[in-house]
Amino acid sequence: MSKYVIGSGWYCKQPGGTSGAVRGHPQVGEAVIRGLVWHEVWKYFLFRYTQPAKVIVIDSASPYKPKPDPRIEWVQLDENYQYNSKTHFNGWIRGFILGAAYAWNCNANFIYVEQDCLVVGKNWMNAVEGAAEGKFPLFGQRFRSPVQQSLVYLPYASIQKFLYLLTAQRNAITCEQRFHNTSKGKAGLPYKNIPFGVGRARPIDWKAKHLYAQHWSKHELTALGKREGVNGMIRGLLEGGDNEGCSVHTDPVEQCQAAEQESA
């Protein structure tokens, strides 16, 4: 497995997460997946299945932040650019660009795992690297947009050109369309799909060797806990979620271990 950096973004409006629409954009899935405690679950699966050279998280000036982790480089932007109208580069894509540039400066491949995205399955990084063949960016399969972006892979050799093609687009379009457009024309950079599902598509194949998803529902998280042998952690996440029980000060991984010992 080649050297790689994992990047992500961060924004948390309320410690226990939020639901409903934000400026007309629907927030899909359980509120808790946008809360502080969720970050501990995200880290658990990230480090369970990967061994990155670095992890970098770009914080869009969030009012709430998880506790520091020495394994993670935490970078905060000066403000939340989520719906910036002057440059057409919102907070999400700024975080992606900064993470990819960091990986390039580390002479490493880059993989982006979105804030609400969990990826599971032994050696899933090997499957991703093999599909890229050292040159192809990898995006999620088409689902209501040309590509999906909760899990993205950029080989080191393609990072510089991809970022050039991405930032050269100055029109107001979706991030998904912007990614897809990097493949257009003679100077474009062809891409391939992540070799497993599902992102925000459904259904989830729980028997698949590798899978990733975002926008998790309570039912799906419960099924994930059963598949991955972490029922206690998921139960603590769903039953707590704010400042009581599974609080923002409590590591759900520790809760999981305690719960499993009690049930043994």
Convert the pLDDT of each residue in 112-161 to its tens digit.
Answer: 999 999 999 999 999 999 999 999 999 999 999 999 999 999 999 999 99
The arithmetic mean of pLDDT across residues 31-55, rounded, is 97
Determine the pLDDT at residue 262.
47
Say whether pLDDT at 80 is over 70: yes
Look up residue 109 and give its DSSP letter. E
Percent of the chain with pLDDT over 90: 80
pLDDT of 39 strictly over 70 = yes
Q: What is the mean pLDDT of the chain?
A: 89
3-class secondary structure per residue, 40-102: HHHHHHHHHHCCCCEEEEEECCCCCCCCCCCCEEEEECCCCCCCCCCCCCCHHHHHHHHHHHH
Domain boundaries, the chain: 4-263
**% of the chain surpassing 70 pLDDT:** 86
| Pick from 44, 35, 72, 41: nearest CA to 57 | 72
pLDDT in tens, 176-222: 999 999 999 999 999 999 999 999 999 999 999 999 999 999 999 99
Over the stretch 239-254, which tens digit does the pLDDT of each residue have? 874 433 333 334 555 5
**Distance of alpha carbon 129 from alpha carbon 110, whole angstroms:** 10
Residue 82's pLDDT band (cuts 50, 70, 90) = confident
Residue 57 has pLDDT above 60, yes or no: yes
pLDDT at 254: 58
Instruction: Report whether pLDDT(84) > 70.
Output: no
* The architecture CATH gives domain 4-263: Alpha-Beta Complex (3.90)
pLDDT of 263 over the 50 cut: no
pLDDT of residue 223 exceeding 60, the answer is: yes
Distance from C-alpha of 116 to C-alpha of 33, rounded to nearest angstrom? 6
Q: In this structure, how many other beta carbons lie within 10 angstroms of the beta carbon of residue 106?
A: 16
Structure confidence at residue 28 as a pLDDT band (50, 70, 90): confident
For residue 169, give every residue at least 6 positions away whose Cβ sits within 8 Å of its Cβ, in sequence order, or none.
88, 178, 181
Which residue in 133, 76, 90, 73 sits closest to 109, CA to CA?
133
Q: What share of the chain is helix, strand, coil (3-state, %, to 5)?
A: 35, 20, 45
Higher pLDDT, 153 or 257: 153
Report the C-alpha gap between 107 and 159 in whole angstroms: 10
Instruction: Identify any residues that bridge with 190 across adjacent strands, giving them in sequence order.
Output: none
Q: Which pLDDT belongs to residue 172?
A: 81
| Per-residue pLDDT at 24 exceeds 70 | no
DSSP string, 154-179: E-HHHHHHHHHHHHT--S---HHHHH
Structure confidence at residue 27 (pLDDT)? 72
Q: Could you give the CA distance from residue 30 to residue 165 in angstroms, rounded to a whole number?
A: 35
Closest to 11 in 3D by CA, of 46, 58, 54: 58
